[in-house]
Structure 1
Amino acid sequence: MSLRRHLDLLAGGRFLRVVNYHNTPASTAGAVLRELEQLRERFDPVGLADLDVFFATGRWPTDRPGLLPVFYEGYRNSAQVAAPACDATGFVGWFPVCTAFVQCPPAEQEVFARSHLVDLVPEELGSPRLALSPDEVGELAQRHVVLAHTASHAGIADVWTDEDLDREVHEPGRVLREWTGQAAPAFVWLHGTPWGGHPRHDAAVVDAGYRYQFSNTMLQRLR
C-alpha cells in the first residue's frame, strides 16, 4: 500500500489506536477515567468480535477510528480501577495477564514483581495482594478481553528450551482457559516483540492457539 493511501486512510479515521497502561493504582483512578472519557469523544470501542470481522471481511464496524485500552501484567487494580473506568466509558478493556504473577501466593507477589520487571508503586506496597485472583480474571473476561502476557513476564530472548516455550507460551493459554472458560485470543511478549522474526517462537505461539499477537508497533493476525 502506498504512503498516499496510508495517509488517506488515517485522514479518514480508518485506523486503530492502542493506548497502553501498566500499573493503575487507586490514586490514578480519576485520571484514568478522565483520559478514557476524553478518548471516547473521538474513538469507538473495539471488541474481539470486531477484530475478527475486520480481518475476515475487511469491513470496519464504525465510521470513527477504534481504540483499544490495554492494561498489562495482571495487577489487582486492573479489576478495581481499569475495568470500572472502561465500563463507565463503554470501552472494551484488553488485559494481558502474566499468569504466574496471578498464581503467586499473595505474600510472595512483591518479591515476584521485583524479580520479573513488574513495576510497583509505593502506595501499594504492603497490600494484602498485588495481583488479580483467578476469579477476578474470569470476571474480567465476561466483559472485556483477557489475553496471555507469558507466565512470568518473559522476553523472547529469555525463552530457549522446549520447557521454556511450554511454560511461557502454552501454559498461560491453558491456565487462562481454566480461569475464564474461553480460549485466550492473543499473546504478548515482554518488550513487545512482533510475530514473524523468530520461527521457533512464532510457531509456538500459533501452536498454542493464539489468533493475534500484540507488539510495540503492531497488532498482528496470525496465520
Structure 2
Amino acid sequence: MSTWTAADSRRLTRHGILAVNFHELRPENRDEAEARLRALARVGPSWDPEAPHDGPSVFVGFYDGYRETAMWGAELCNRIGLTARFFPIFVGDEPGQAGLSDDDLAALAERHEIGYHTASHLYITEVDEANVEAEVTGPVRRIEAATGRLPRLGAWCGGTRFDPTWVGNRVLRSLGVGHLISNWSIEPVPAA
C-alpha cells in the first residue's frame, strides 16, 4: 500500500470526503483493514456535518450491526483518532447481522455516531405506508432512546440518494435526520 501524499490531498476538492465502508469484516482480514484505516487517518480529520472543512476529511462507516466487526472497528478508530459511524439493522437474515444491542449502541455512541439503516435492511422501494412505522420511525426512536440523541445520519440498503417521492425519505426528514449517506454522496436532507 502506498503512502498518502500532499499531492494526493491536492487532488481532492476543498471539501472532499474519502469514505470507507465495512459490513462484516472477518478476523483474517482485519490486519489489512487496520493498515488501510491507519493510512486513512493521515488524510484528514473525520467528517462532521456541522464542522467547517478546509481540505479533505474522512468517513468511516460500519453497516448492518455485525457486532464483532463494530466493536473491533470502534476500538481501532478510538486508537487512531477517527470517529466511526455505525448503521445498525435490528432484524437480519445472515449470521452476525443485527447483533448490536441497545447497550452496545449506547457504548458506541460515547465516542462514535449511530445512524439510521432500517429495522430489517429494506431498500427504500420496499418501505411504504404499511411498514414505515416499523422500518423507519421505530428504528430512529430506538437509536434515540439507546444513545440519548436523534441520529443525524441515515442510509438505505443499496445506498439510495434522497428522493422526496418515497415515503421513507419523507418520514426521515420529518423526524429530523439531517444527512443521507448514499453510494454516491453524503448529502443534506433538503427542507420540505
Q: TM-score range by the shorter chain?
A: 0.7 to 0.9
Q: Tell me the distance in 2 between the aligned counterparts of 1:38 and 1:67.
A: 11
CA separation of 1:12 and 1:187: change in aligned 2, threshold 3 A? closer
Aligned to 2:39: 38
Aligned to 2:49: 51
TM-score by length of 2: 0.84
CA displacement 1:130-160 (0-9 Å, x = unmatched) = 7122211110011001011001000012122
Q: Tell me the distance in 2 between the aligned counterparts of 1:200 and 1:136.
A: 29
Aligned to 1:131: 99
Q: Tell me the distance in 1 between the aligned counterparts of 2:33 and 2:61.
A: 12
Alignment of 1:122-161 (within 5 A): 131-160=99-128
Contact 2:164-2:170 within 8 A present in 1 as well:
no
Alignment of 1:33-182 (within 5 A): 33-46=34-47, 50-53=48-51, 59-60=52-53, 63-98=54-89, 100-101=90-91, 112-114=92-94, 131-160=99-128, 162-182=129-149
Contact 1:32-1:85 within 8 A present in 2 as well:
no
Identical-residue share of aligned pairs (%): 24
SS at match of 1:95: strand
Q: Tell me the distance in 1 between the aligned counterparts of 2:186 and 2:44.
A: 17
Between the two proteins, the alignment pairs up a number of residues equal to 181
Where structure 1 has 5 or more consecutive residues not aligned to the other structure, the ranges are 1-8, 54-58, 102-111, 115-119
Aligned to 1:17: 18
The amino acid that maps onto 1:218 is S
Contact 1:188-1:214 within 8 A present in 2 as well:
yes
SS at match of 1:44: coil
Contact 2:120-2:135 within 8 A present in 1 as well:
yes
SS at match of 2:18: strand
Q: How large is the RMSD of aligned CA atoms in angstroms?
A: 2.1
The amino acid that maps onto 1:93 is A
Q: Tell me the distance in 1 between the aligned counterparts of 2:139 and 2:39.
A: 34
TM-superposed CA distance for 1:181, in Å, is 1.2
Give the greater-gyration-radius structure (CA): 1
TM-superposed CA distance for 1:208, in Å, is 2.1
